[in-house]
Amino acid sequence: MKSKPYLRNLAKRGLLLNLLLLLYLASGCSYSTMPTYTKQEINTAIQDICKEEYKLDVKTKLVGETVWIYLPVEDLIVKTDKPEKYSEKFEVEQVKNEFNFDSLRSEYAIKTVPEEEKYQEYKYNKDVLDKINDVWKVLRRVIFSMECERAGEPKIFCLVTADIKNGFEMKEVFYYLDLKKVSYDFISWGEYQHRAIQETNVSAQIIDDKEGLHVDYKNITLADFIAAQIQHRIKLKFQKPEVDKNVDIDKEIMKIIVYTIKIYDFRDFTTVELINLLSNNKIILNQGAVWARAME
């Protein structure tokens, strides 16, 4: 049997390894002094690798610190033979989060409803999911070979998978460091799915658009990303749902906001304002109060 001092030393070594790995992630995951891909090369690098290694025609666009990847496909979703059962306890009528100057404003209308079982009759097409996975392989390869920590380097990535046959698309937005953390098991895949924002859209403009001309390409700042992630987390929490129907909705939303701000160590704000549109309840906290809750 190993001695207790030995076990304590082993634990210390484990903590040291975790610290070293964190520093490794923050430094760009490379011991090389020169990145494999530069900001100027990222568009052609993603397109070329997708084409040469996976026979995928993607379009890329760099706007500020945001990289957009457009993947045109057909039949993104298909009818499933085994509908998945789920329950509905809440009705999310409205959720809107945005930064107005240096203040985060969160408006929501969420109410409890009689619990009802429903069935998900559609699923993502496996062939299309394989293509999306191939694009993710390319993104990991490129991101892990860039110096993303430097000012002006890409930090937000947005993959738009467009069903140009049926006019439906899925947009996934993620922060580069979150991808690195989940790849090295610093966060779970469940947590990553809460951090990576997923949105869907239906529009006739998507049909036959192989070039991604209908997409509103723009720079997504970290503040924009955090506001959108909070909105994404709120929807997941109450649409899945992840909480009991008797939960205090205002408190749960406050927990989401505080947690999200904490994990990104975001301090570029003065106040957080919560507005419950159904109860007319309003909560306003300054930055100090938000961080006091984060440290509890």
Q: Are residues 185 and 286 in the same domain?
A: no
In a domain, 188, yes or no: yes
Q: Are residues 134 and 64 in the same domain?
A: yes
Share of the chain above pLDDT 90, in %: 75
In the prediction, which pLDDT does 116 show? 84
The chain-wide mean pLDDT, for the chain, equals: 88
Cα distance between residue 244 and residue 27, in whole Å: 41
Tell me: the pLDDT tens digits for 57-105?
A: 999 999 999 999 999 999 999 999 888 888 899 999 999 999 988 999 9
Tell me: the pLDDT tens digits for 217-237?
A: 999 999 999 999 999 999 999
Give the DSSP H or E segment for 15. helix 4-26
Contact 170, 161 (CB under 8 A): yes
Q: Are residues 65 and 181 in the same domain?
A: yes
Distance of alpha carbon 85 from its chain centroid, rounded? 25
In a domain, 237, yes or no: yes
Domain count, the chain: 2
For residues 266-285, average pLDDT: 97
Q: How many CA atoms are closer than 13 Å to the CA of 232, on its beta-carbon side?
A: 21
Q: Are residues 136 and 253 in the same domain?
A: no
Range of the domain at 239: 89-116+230-294
In the prediction, which pLDDT does 148 show? 67
Q: Residue 51 belongs to a domain with what CATH number?
A: 3.10.310
Q: Are residues 147 and 195 in the same domain?
A: yes
Tell me the pLDDT band of 273, cut-offs 50, 70 and 90. Answer: very high
